[in-house]
Amino acid sequence: MAKLRIALAGLGRMGRAVFDEAMASTDFEIVAGVDSNNPGLAGLAYFQPQDLEQALAGCDLVIDFSSPEFAVQVAETAARLGKNFLIGTTAIPAEGMQRIEQAARDGNVSGMVAANFSVGVAAFFVVAQQAARLLASYDAEIVEAHHGAKRDAPSGTALRLAAAVRAQRPQGGGPKLHSIRAGQIVGEHSILFAGNNEVIEIRHSAISRQCFAAGCLACARWLAGRKDGRLHSVQDAIGT
C-alpha cells in the first residue's frame, strides 16, 4: 500500500502529536506543515499560512488542528484543489461549518470534522447514550478537564456528548456541563447519572495525545480515496 501523503495545518500540541505518530509509521508521509510559527520539526517542509495553497499541492489529504477561522480556509482550499480534508479544530461556529460542508460538496471531496479522534471516546459515547436512555429519570452531569492553555470551554467533545445524551432523553432535560482548565491535563471526560439511591459514573481519560493522533491517522486512512462530497464522522470510520 502506498504511503498516504499528508499536509498538517496547525503545529501545536495535536499537530505535533500527529507528526510524531506518522513519522513512527510506514503508512504515512508528512509532506508539509503550515503554521505561523516554525516548530523546527526535523524533516518537515514548513510553510506560512499565506502559502497554504502551495503547501497542499503535494498532499493526498490535509489534517487541520489550527484555529476556527483558519480551519475553514483550510477546508475550502483543500476542496478547491480536489484534496480530502480532516478537521480536528474545535469551536468552529455554525457559519464556518456550513462553509466547510459546502466546500466538500462543491469540490466533490470527502471531509471529516471531529472534536475527538480517540477510539476509546467513540466507545464511551456508545455506552453513555445507552445509559442516558436507560436512566432517563436520573439527573445527569458532565465534567471535562483539559490543560490550562486550552481556549474553548466546554470542550467540543463535551458539547457533542451533551447533545447525544439529550437526544436519548428528550423528556429528561439536558445534562449540565462543568469545565476544568488546569495544569497539563491531556483530556478527561465523565458523565454522572444520579438517582435517589445510587450514582453511576462513566469516564474516559486520555493518558497521552497519541491516542488522539493514532485515531486521527486511522480516520485519514479510511477517508483516503473517497470522493463523495460529504462530511463524515469518526463513528463512520470505526463502525460504531
Known catalytic residue: 146? Answer: yes
Residue 119: Cβ within 10 Å count: 17
Rg (Cα) of the chain, in Å, rounded? 18
Q: Is 83 a catalytic residue?
A: no
Catalytic-labelled residue, pool 150, 189, 204, 232 = 150
Considering all CA atoms of the chain, what is the largest pairwise distance in Å, rounded to the nearest integer? Answer: 61
Strand partners, 167: none
Alpha helices in 47-145 (DSSP H): 52-56, 68-80, 94-107, 119-134
Q: Do 216 and 63 form a contact (C-beta atoms < 8 A)?
A: yes
- Taking a C-beta distance cutoff of 8 angstroms, is the pair 95, 69 a contact? no
In the set 146, 189, 204, 232, the catalytic residue is 146
Give 147-163 as a DSSP string: -TT---SS-HHHHHHHH
- CB half-sphere exposure, 220, CA atoms < 13 A: 30
Q: How far apart are CA 227 and CA 225, in angstroms?
A: 6
What residues act catalytically?
A: 146, 150
